[in-house]
Amino acid sequence: MLSRRGLVSNLKLATAAARSYATPASPIDTALRTALKTAMKAKDSFKAGVIKSALADLQNASHLPSPPSPSKTLAKSIASRLDGASTFDSSTPPRPDLAEQYRNEAAILKEFVEPEPEAMDPAELDAVVKKVVEGLGLASIGGKDSGRVIKGVMDTLAGKAGGKEVSEAVKRFVMAA
């Protein structure tokens, strides 16, 4: 039998464990949970199953040491379903019924993917890179400095340009300097 001290200690451990996984809900998570409720009320078991699977993927990813963003986790889920569809298409004998099921699952999940940022004008992006470099007070950009510049540009643009475009703009700036 546990003493009072043992019970209090176990209670503290249990609440700490429950609290450690509590993270603020992302917009994707909230949208998935809302769609799950709607699908369950409509008795659409296929859609509800797909959404439950995506929520499970998000939950599992949140327990990783450095969890990826929910959009990356959802993109990975979509990619795995499309890969499965192509596998069923090319299998011997082909299974078009299962391939179509996987494509339908991917189509359901694509509804929750955040839209890609529109491509920004390269000249405008170069101007932002120049402004950030001047703001950081850098005469030239070295290895570690390029990461600081990319981070500064990404913070300045706040999602208006993708990381690849920003990285290419910083490389162009380094080459021109």
Q: How confident is the model at residue 20 (pLDDT cuts 50, 70, 90)?
A: very low
Whether 160 has a pLDDT exceeding 70, the answer reads: yes
Q: Distance of CA 17 to CAs 10, 61, 63, 101, Å?
A: 11, 17, 12, 38
Q: Are 99 and 123 contacting, i.e. CB atoms less than 8 angstroms apart?
A: no
DSSP assigned state of 161:
S
Quote the percentage of the chain above a pLDDT of 70. 81
**Could you read off the pLDDT of 86-134 as tens digits, one per residue?**
999 999 999 999 999 999 999 999 999 877 666 778 888 888 888 888 8
Nearest-angstrom CA–CA distance, 86 and 93:
13
Average pLDDT, the chain: 83
Helix/strand/coil for 174: helix
Q: Are 132 and 153 contacting, i.e. CB atoms less than 8 angstroms apart?
A: yes
DSSP assigned state of 173:
H
Nearest to 109 by CA among 61, 64, 76, 68: 76
Between 13 and 156, the higher pLDDT residue? 156
Q: Distance of CA 52 to CAs 45, 149, 155, 157, Å?
A: 10, 40, 33, 34
Q: Angle at CA 30, nearest 5°, toward 77 and 84?
A: 10
**Could you read off the pLDDT of 53-71 as tens digits, one per residue?**
999 999 999 999 988 888 8
Report the predicted TM-score, pTM, of the whole model to 2 decimal places.
0.60
